[in-house]
Structure 1
Amino acid sequence: MATSAVAASLAGCGAPDLAAMRPTVQKSAVLVEVVGAPPFAPSASQLGTAGATSVEVVHVALGEWQSVAAHALAKGQLTGVMVVCDDANAVASGLNQLAADHPDVRFLVVSNWPASQITSGNVEDVAQDPVAVAYSIGALCGDWIASSTSTSGAVYSGVPSIVYAPRGATVAEQKAFFTGLYQANPNVRVVALPQPAAQSLSSYGYAVDLGVVGGSPAAGELSALRSAAPAWAAFGTSPIAGFAISPGHLSSSEAVQAFQALVSPDAWHSGEHLVLDLSSVAFDDKQVPATVIAAWAKLEVNAIAAAAQSNAAFASLPPSVRSDLANAFHLS
């Protein structure tokens, strides 16, 4: 088997030296662009042992990746281009353009968030499954409340309570979250975050155990959120500092596996491929009960399959629950 010729990882953003990538035997030549600093980005040495290929790894800023790729592609020697970034939507337009200009080159984007507008037939999009992440965080929140010894929600005979604030998460993500939540804990009660001028939840007899944000809260809103609940979780967003549970990141092993497929024409397939890893959920172990963190290892195995059925499962929730969610959060 031919050995890989791995170029040194470059700190700058200049065009790669394709002379170092010119194979002496027939094999793939791949440009790997790491955009920003995604925590799952594989190293040059990892990729060098991942397949019989010549690979050049360059680190670029978001505004530079497309011109660097175009310059390298103009040499006519690349068989593949891999882009590693946090959000594939940020590079989707450029990928579509490059892929259309170079139909014989395989393109791969690996990210935390899948792109919604990649249309080219020679592009593969590997990313975390945001619906599965939302479902998982819902189930973990349900486990947390079930394990709580608090006597919260006093108005409702001690039923535990979660305060929820929708902040831009998709309908699919929200339905998946509530499906996971109620499957893990059918007795949980969800209440809406009060408006700033409204009375506090405690004045109504609620002692909320946990707050959840569906999406990205405004920076100035965080202090108000923390006054409404002692601990917070989030889905449909990037990790939030200080939150107990939030979306994590793709595993670097997924990036390496995707690269292995890219350099093997028989294994590579275009289109969207969504995955879930143990790293896909981030915990603050100082806030989250150890039993909840331990439950994640078991839940992760089947979360994608369960999330795929979440729309139907949401429709099967008790009518009273669906009515409450429809009235409070316009989910039906």
Structure 2
Amino acid sequence: MNPLSYHRALSTADALSRAGDGAARLLGGGTNLVDLMRKGVERPSALVDVTALPGTIEATAEGGLLIGAAARNSAVAAHPLVRSQYPMLARAILAGASAQIRNMATVGGNLMQRTRCLYFQDAAASRCNKRIPGSGCEAEGGFNRYHAIIGTSPSCIATHPSDMCVALAALDARIHVAGAAGMRTIPLVDFHLLPGDRPDIETLLAPGDIILAVEIPPSPVARNSAYRKVRDRASYAFALVSVAAGLSVREGSVEDVRIAFGGIAPKPWRAFRAEAALRGGPATREAFEAAVIEELAGATPPPEAAFKVELARRTLVAVLTELSGSDR
């Protein structure tokens, strides 16, 4: 048995002093961390409970939204501002897990959740470069139907599991962080890292850093937005492919667009190439198809996940067609 201490932080300063050099783990709802501890994947010597830190949800002076890291996922999804101004975010959260888990899970914990790759979670019998760098990746030659098709490396082909983060990526969200170096803000699209040769380093957080809040700026496309999740069963399943998208159309042309994919990459995948291809062009099914083909041109799917390329294409085209109000 590993010795384990527990402390409930009552302020950010208290949490920072306890987080120290990063040996401790911050505990929100525990919906991912506790599972990993039970499986022996995570072995912290200390837990710092941060659920007493701010979890408010409020409008910013600029017209955006500020969500405290301790806010429960269910509270975010139900908030009137989120439902009216950022429907893709509400729908993404409601597509994840169960109502009981959403009532426990926090926004900060959702940002930090780790992959559900079966080999990563099997600490007793499987090799995994995320757990032990240099040990190998059994998913490469094993069961890889749920794995990534883009942004991978020879070291890791695992996918990022979050639904919420896909919507936040499409919404240009920023993460407010406190640490030994002071306060800083990180764009969500940069926060999660691609695996490269160090898949064990998953975010830009430094040891001892704490996520304080997520800020969503005003968005011209957020109100006309959607989140669609394709999975093996109707509920309680992680995405094979998901799409968060917002679209603004004027006189038949794409005025602005935001797109992010889930289930296909080691991080929430912002589709910058597809967005650039669409802006200023016709809002037609043909244009949507061409844009997603360009986005996924660099896909290198493992054998059992090859179907995800076509599934991602169809899902994005369906979502954009619906948002555009056109079936052309």
The question of a shared fold, defined as TM-score above 0.5 by the shorter chain, is answered with no
Normalising by structure 1, we get a TM-score of 0.25
Q: Whose helix fraction is larger, Structure 1's or Structure 2's?
A: 1
